[in-house]
Structure 1
Amino acid sequence: MEQNLKEKTGKTLDDWKILLSKQSFSKHGEYMIFLKKGHGITHGFANFITLKFREADAGSANPVDLIGNQYKGKETLTPIFDKLHAAITKLGTDIEVAPKKSAVSMRVKRQFALIQPSTKKRIDLGLKFNDKPHGERLETSGPFGTMCTHRVQLTDIEQIDDELLAWIKEAYEQAK
């Protein structure tokens, strides 16, 4: 999309980022409306520009601070995150760990896992599979929409068991 951005919108991604940096929006949807209604950008390009802008904005923060902020008031979930993070990064040196404001994305060629403290008592682990049926524990993606195909709700470190680790490894292998 970035290669076609200037041709389709008249501006480069950097041009759009500069324009968005002058706005005082805090939500993804506000940027989308601004681009779509204010500049006639199609939904797909508006979403792409907004994601890249907000990712760059989050990327300028210290990753440790981003993760720490996710767990403020949810400190009891930190051991679950730590164990997931360790298990996932042990799978390969090609894994990119990308902390955002509200979640941590794990990617190789594409995102395969997303760790999000969704409530004070629960982490949602999103996984992306090519074609895997949903089950009792391996639920539909829920709040993740198209970012992930499945979700596992975790409330206890003991839930990080062999079955879950096998699913994580499968999602990782499919993303390579």
Structure 2
Amino acid sequence: MSDVDKALASQMTNIQAKTGKSLDELYAVIQQSAFTTHGTIRSFLKETLGLGHGDANTLTTFYLKSAVSPNPPPPIPDGDVLASIYHGSKAALRPLHDALMSAINDFGPFEVAPKKAYVSLRRKKQFAMIGPSTQTRVEVGLNMKDVAPTARLIALPAGGMCQYKVNISELAEVDAELLAWIRFAYDRAG
């Protein structure tokens, strides 16, 4: 089981503990709502069960992929969460993601929270997001302040999920400079 799959299993266990409902009971609540799209189910779970956005999003994703759902999407390639993010024309980018995660794992403990198109990396708060932004590059979003942007470290508009991003398209770009920025964000997140 990959770190991402372990994180998802842990998150689903925590959702059941927070709500006091088993997975079958949660799915029944969703079914009774009659909502069928991802966004409407997620909003319903946030409002009805008081779940945060990430938990509601993950539960919705699991529900829609279940046999219980009236509209299950096609199965995830290889049964792997990352395979659903890095599939088709983006499959060649998976080694970039794996190289980043291998280096970041050396920093110490953190949570991996998979989303639909990226993974969120968290300590007490999110410090990075990693996912394919195009068919040819992976975007690393960074939450950190008081860092001067460079041609490579791109400042993002205020109010977004991250303050900076770095685009990488080859393994050589997973270098000391990028890892130092990620480490800076990691240290301040926890």
TM-score when normalising by structure 2? 0.66
Pair 1:75 & 2:91 matched? yes
Compute the RMSD of aligned alpha carbons.
Answer: 3.3
Name the CA distance, whole Å, in 1 between partners of 2:115 and 2:104: 17
**Residue 172 of structure 1: CA displacement?**
0.4
Q: Which runs of 5+ in 2 are unaligned?
A: 1-17, 66-75
The 1-side partners of 2:119 and 2:91 are apart by 16
Q: Deviations over 1:64-98 (max 9, x none)?
A: 72211101111210110010011111100x21112
Whole-angstrom CA distance in 1 between matches of 2:148 and 2:19: 38
1:163 aligns with one of 177, 181, 185: 177
The 5-angstrom pairing of residues 80-95 of structure 1 reads: 80-92=96-108, 94-95=109-110
Offset, 1:140: 2.2
Amino-acid identity (%): 33
Matches within 5 A, 1:1-176: 22=33, 23-26=35-38, 28=39, 30=40, 49-58=52-61, 65-73=80-88, 74-92=90-108, 94-141=109-156, 146-176=160-190
Which whole-Å CA distance do the structure 2 matches of 1:49 and 1:14 have between them? 15
SS of 1:102's partner is coil
Distance 1:131 1:58, change over 3 A: farther
Deviations 1:8-63, CA, capped at 9 Å, x for gaps: xxxx9779x7755531012x3x458879xxxxx7xxx9x9755431123346779x
C-alpha distance in 1 between matches for 2:61 and 2:184: 28
Contact 1:104/1:116 (<8 A) preserved: yes
Between the aligned partners of 1:50 and 1:31, the Cα distance in structure 2 is 11
For normalisation by structure 1, the TM-score amounts to 0.70
The 1:13–1:147 alpha-carbon spacing in structure 2 relative to 1, beyond 3 Å, is farther
